[in-house]
Chain A
Amino acid sequence: MRVRVITMLFLLAVLLLTTGCNGSRELDEVAYVLTIGADIGEGGQLDLTYEIAIPRAMAGSEAAGKTDAKKSTRIVTITAPTLAEGRNLLNSVTGRAPNLSHVSTFVIGEKLARKGLKDFLGPTMRFREFRGSIDMVVVNGQAKDFIKQNSPEEVLAPRWFEAMFSSADETGYYLKTTLHEFYARLKNGSGSPYTSLMGINPLKGEGQPSGPAIPGEKTREYLPKDVPREEGNPATVIGAAVFKEDKMVGMLPSEETRMLAILLGNYPRGFMVVDDPLAPKHSINVNLRLGRKAKINVDILDGQAVINVDVFLEGEFTSNPSGINYESKEYTSLLEQQISQTVRQRMLQMLQRTQTWGADVVDFGYYVRPQFATDQEFKKLNWDAIFRKAEFNVFVTTEIRRAGLQRKTSPIRTEGE
């Protein structure tokens, strides 16, 4: 009897518990959204573009090799007032229940970014399927077009984004920017948010540099649209979008983004091309990296801030075509000065540009915090106003440590001698 009653109760419990009202879903009943794009739509609504995975393309051995990003995903664009409503409408479109927890990237159109992201960001921090580690990028153009035209070699589109950001440290031309970082800067006492900049390149090979070259530098700087290139995936990631509060105020091209990376301490390595100081028609290639984190020191006197920046770069020759023996001690310092000078000017250019936007993109305010004892005092300071009037002192020191695989350069033999 006892056993029978226990079995009865047990079965009853099983029946009650497995009625399916606990929200369990089979893996193949779910539509996995991998990327979300957002643009301004009609009447102030959002044009939300969802890139949804097609799991069938990923299964089994026969499909491998044939699959690419186009076949493994499909794209749906929905116009809705908010992200949440977009998810509702998506459910009506896909048949399967949408799940946003595998979203790896928010792609935001430039117009929306300039208008302000306050409304867009609303649900991202409250809803459990989004998380701070989602990458945020701004597209120089329409997010919808970008997602549609992006045809990476990876099997899945989000892997392209992830691979792209994990290789950001190869050049420093763009930065890995997460929602967490963006949001923290938006809310905390100082610092302006930034995201990396993407765009669709016309692939005509006719791109123009986005600004004048710094004297002494050979490298030119570009925005995604302007990179002179042809063929391949038109999606290009270069530069940074800078925000003031939640509105985008401007774009930093490649070289200036690299300066930002140096100041953020996020610059593992990258090539730099400068004029040969003694034979200016030649150029010298140096592979630079940060010797230590940039020393940043802010002095505030009577509401006037002086920001001292001390950057130390280490480098290695990668090319020295002129044949001048820069590997030797006396010539090296010449070259080092040249590099320091160029970097310094670039940095000042970037800082002044962001200063006119009023966007403290390096977050110098972060370094001011320890000078205050309490929150109230820090808030009274009003750092954003002070930043607009701040003075910059930038010191750059460069040390060429290695000379690559060649210990010196013999000049090319010429007939004239």
Chain B
Amino acid sequence: MSYQSGRMGMAEGIALVFVICFVTAFIGLPAEAIDTSGELGWFSVIIAGFSTMIMLFLLIYVFQRIPGDLFSVSKHLFGKPGAYVISAYYTVMFLALAALWIRQFAENTLLVALPSVNFQLAVGWYALGAAFIVYLGIENIARATYVILPFTVAGTLFVLGLLEPLYKPNYLSPWLGKGIGSALIKGGVLVGANAGSLLLAVLAESFQNVRTLKAAAVFGLGGSVLLKALSVLIFTMVFGASVAIEKTLPFFDMSRLIYLTRYVQRIESIFIILWVMVGVLAIAVSLYMGIYLITRLVNLPAMKPLIPTVTILIAQLSMIPPDIGTVFELQSILIRGYCNIGIYVIPLSLFAATLLKEKRGTKCASG
């Protein structure tokens, strides 16, 4: 099997989950969270992370009982058709995320970094950038992510810290924002932003053991959720909810505001390096997941020949929406609707099937 995804340890797992969940902080997530839950946006991000983590732990419970990866486990539990449906579902999800992010990062590049660059070139650049590292394999992507991870965290904290003179704590109140109920419900819906963390299930076999999976879920997802919540918190404190919801690119806008002295100002372009790297990595990871699932689904001998084809298709797909408004609409359909099935319904049904099977198993044993 040449599509063997390599062997990965705790560090790699944490890094992969972190980067694929954190990438949304560089695009619309903070503004979206504040738009739905007002001043309580930061909390709804935590809620979203928390519910994703519960689902992940249910999945890990399943993997503890039935070793294998998502495909083989769902085959074991639901038979071949079930496995096909589930894998196809996640294939679409990951590829859709890849397309969405290619489009959004290309748009961001046009918006803030290279205003006069050709749109096709920007889309092609991100697709090429991701495809090249997909070609080198998930193991190496994960390791590189782990190398870049500290710089990502440090860079983000640096920006958040330098804004300290502009913090206005009372902008966090009224502390319930649009109401606790809406935060809970909408936070639960926002989990789509963490959908990428399901890669742990897809790649379960590549990780050393269940402990690695658990660590990746806790530290990778937990870390990214905490950092995202902190970003949203400080974003609210600096701009106030009414201005915050106007922003397309919260992180960029925050880095633009930094003014320490005459010499330390206008440093937002330095952080372009940061978000481009995280963006390309996230696109690459989701692209890899999609292609990996396809190879698994159709039982192909290798995945490398698929990479150029799928990348070109995904890049084309990402260029279909005519304007950024449509992109946002598609994003909310994808993240609020489609991804939630993947995060809630499938893990829960896998978990229930495992429980059922176990119960039946013990009955047989005793009887």
Using a CB–CB cutoff of 8 Å, the interface residues on chain A facing chain B are 17, 21-23, 101-102, 125, 128, 131-133, 159, 162, 166, 178, 180, 183-184, 187-189, 366-367, 369-370, 372-378
Taking CB atoms, residues of chain A closer than 8 Å to B258 are: 133
Q: Is B257 close to A, CB under 8 A?
A: yes
Given that A133-B257, A184-B239 are contacting pairs, would A367 and B112 also be in contact in the complex, using a CB cutoff of 8 Å? no
Q: Is B157 close to A, CB under 8 A?
A: no
Taking CB atoms, residues of chain B closer than 8 Å to A372 are: 173-174
Verify A188–B240 contact, CB threshold 8 A: yes
Taking CB atoms, residues of chain B closer than 8 Å to A22 are: 114, 116-118, 121
A/B interface sample: 18 pairs, CB < 8 A: A23-B117, A101-B266, A128-B112, A132-B253, A132-B257, A133-B256, A133-B266, A166-B262, A178-B259, A184-B243, A187-B243, A187-B246, A366-B170, A369-B171, A374-B174, A374-B179, A375-B177, A377-B174
> Known pairs A102-B266, A132-B253, A374-B174. 13 more at Cβ < 8 A?
A21-B117, A125-B246, A132-B256, A133-B265, A180-B239, A187-B240, A188-B241, A367-B170, A370-B173, A370-B175, A374-B176, A375-B241, A378-B174
Taking CB atoms, residues of chain A closer than 8 Å to B38 are: 374-375
Q: Is B161 close to A, CB under 8 A?
A: no
Given that A21-B116, A128-B112 are contacting pairs, would A162 and B174 also be in contact in the complex, using a CB cutoff of 8 Å? no
Verify B242–A376 contact, CB threshold 8 A: no
CB-CB nearest in chain B for A377: B174
CB-CB nearest in chain A for B240: A188
Taking CB atoms, residues of chain B closer than 8 Å to A374 are: 38, 174, 176-179
Taking CB atoms, residues of chain B closer than 8 Å to A162 are: 262
Verify A131–B256 contact, CB threshold 8 A: yes
Q: Is B355 close to A, CB under 8 A?
A: no
Taking CB atoms, residues of chain A closer than 8 Å to B118 are: 21-22
Taking CB atoms, residues of chain B closer than 8 Å to A125 are: 246
Instruction: With both chains docked as a complex, state the minimum distance between the C-beta of B173 and any C-beta of chain A, in angstroms.
Output: 4
| Proximity string of chain B (4-38) to chain A, C-beta cutoff 8 Å, 1 when within and 0 when not | 00000000000000000000000000000000001
Verify B239–A376 contact, CB threshold 8 A: no
**Residue of B176, B179, B243 ringed by the most chain A CB atoms within 10 A:** B243
Taking CB atoms, residues of chain B closer than 8 Å to A159 are: 262
Verify A375–B256 contact, CB threshold 8 A: no
Instruction: With both chains docked as a complex, state the minimum distance between the C-beta of A405 and any C-beta of chain B, in angstroms.
Output: 32
Q: Is B39 close to A, CB under 8 A?
A: yes
Verify A187–B242 contact, CB threshold 8 A: yes
